[in-house]
Structure 1
Amino acid sequence: MSGTAAVITGWSVVSPFGFGPKSYVDGLLDGDVTARPVDADGPPLPDALASTVPGLDPAAILDGRGVRHLDRASQLALATLSDLVDPGLDTGERTGLVLGTALGSVQTEMDHMRASLRARRPHLLDPKTLASGTMNCAAAQCAIRFGITGPNTTIAGGRAAGLHALDYACRLLAAGRADRVIAGAVEEYTPARAWLTHHACSRRLEWLGEGSAVFRLEPPGAREPLAHVLAVTGRVAVDHDLPAAVVACGRDVLNRAGVGAAAVWAAVGAGSSLREHAALAGLVGPDALTRIPDAEGIGDTGAASAAFAVATALGLVGRWPEAAGRHVLVMATDPNGAVSGALLRLGGA
Structure 2
Amino acid sequence: MNLNPDGPPVITAWSAISPFGYGHDAFTDGFTAGESTVDAVDEERWQVAGERAALVPDFDVRSLLGAKGTRSMNRVTGLAVVTAGRLLAQVPDRDDEFAEGTGLVLGTTTGSPESMMGFTRASLVGERPDHVEPAAVPSCVMNCAAGQVAIWHQLKGPNATVAAGRRTGLVGLNYARRLLATGRARMVLCGAAEEYSTARAKVERCAQDGTPGPALGEGCAMVLLEPAAHAIARGATPLASLLAVESATCVGGNRGQAVRDAVSRTLHRAGVRQGEVSVAAGTTASADERNALSDLFGTRADTTAAHDLIGDTASVSALFQLATVLGAERDEDGLAVITALDDDGAISTALLKLHPVTAAGRTEAREPALAGGVR
Q: Give the TM-score normalised by structure 1.
A: 0.92
- Pair 1:118 & 2:130 matched: no
- The answer to whether residue 154 in structure 2 is matched with residue 141 in structure 1 is no
Report if aligned partners of 1:97, 1:181 keep a CA contact under 8 Å in 2: yes
Q: Tell me the distance in 1 between the aligned counterparts of 2:3 and 2:277.
A: 17
2:285 and 2:39 map into 1 onto residues whose CA distance is 23
Instruction: Tell me the distance in 2 between the aligned counterparts of 1:214 and 1:294.
Output: 15
Partner of 1:213: 221
Q: CA deviation at 1:251?
A: 1.7
Separation (CA, whole Å) in 2 of partners of 1:47 and 1:78? 31
CA-to-partner distance for each residue in 1:306-328, whole Å, 9 max, x for gaps? 01011111101xx343xx31111
> Take 2:105 and 2:277, find their aligned partners in 1: how far apart are those partners?
27
Counterparts in 2 of 1:238 and 1:135: CA distance versus 1, 3 Å: farther
Mapped to 2, the partners of 1:46 and 1:149 lie a distance apart of: 43
Q: Following superposition of structure 1 onto structure 2, how do residues 50-199 of structure 1 map, counting pairs within 5 Å?
A: 50-85=53-88, 86=91, 88-89=93-94, 91-199=98-206
2:371 paired residue number: none
Q: What is the alpha-carbon root mean square deviation over aligned residues?
A: 2.2
TM-score by length of 2: 0.86
Say whether the 8 Å CA contact 2:43–2:49 is kept in structure 1. no
Distance 1:312 1:116 in 2: 43
Answering whether residue 39 of structure 2 is matched by residue 26 of structure 1, we say no
Confirm or deny that 1:327 pairs with 2:346.
Answer: no
Deviation at 1:46, TM superposition (A): 5.9
Gaps of 5+ in 1: none
In structure 2, relative to structure 1, the CA distance for the partners of 1:342 and 1:47 (3 Å cut) is: farther
Change (3 A) 1:2 1:167: farther
Mean Cα deviation higher: 83-92 or 272-281: 83-92
CA distances 1:222-277 after superposition (whole Å, capped 9, x unpaired)? 13200000000112224454323212221222122211111111111112411221
Mark the CA change 1:125 to 1:274 in structure 2 (over 3 Å): closer, same or farther: same
Report the counterpart of residue 264 of structure 2 in structure 1. 251
What is the rounded CA distance, in whole Å, between the counterparts of 1:2 and 1:75 in structure 2?
37
Aligned to 2:249: 236
Q: Percentage identity across aligned positions?
A: 40
Aligned-pair CA distance for 1:292: 6.6
Q: Is the 8 Å Cα contact of residues 3 and 256 (structure 1) preserved in structure 2?
A: no
Partner in structure 2 of residue 279 of structure 1: 292
Find out whether 1:300 has 2:305 as its counterpart: no
Extract unaligned runs of 5+ from structure 2.
Answer: 358-375
Query: Cα gap change, 1:300/1:61 in structure 2, threshold over 3 Å: closer, same or farther?
Result: same
Supply the AA of the counterpart residue of 1:55: D
Structure 1 position 37 matched with structure 2 position 40: yes
Partner-residue secondary structure (3-state), 2:180: helix
Cα pair 2:306 2:317 within 8 Å, conserved: no
State whether structure 2 residue 15 is matched by structure 1 residue 12. yes
The AA in structure 2 aligned to 1:234 is: S
Q: Equivalent residue of 2:301, what SS? A: helix
- Separation in structure 1 between the aligned mates of residue 149 and residue 21 of structure 2, nearest angstrom: 20
Q: 1:2 to 1:60 in 2, by over 3 A?
A: farther
**Cα distance, 1:271–1:290 mapped onto 2, change above 3 Å:** closer
| Contact 1:205–1:299 under 8 Å retained in 2 | no
Is structure 2 residue 313 aligned with structure 1 residue 313? Answer: no
Deviation for aligned residue 1:107: 1.3
8 Å Cα contact 1:15-1:212 kept in structure 2 = yes
Among candidates 262, 267, 273, match of residue 280 of structure 2: 267
Q: Deviations over 1:18-72 (max 9, x none)?
A: 1001111111111122112111213542653111001223224323222121111
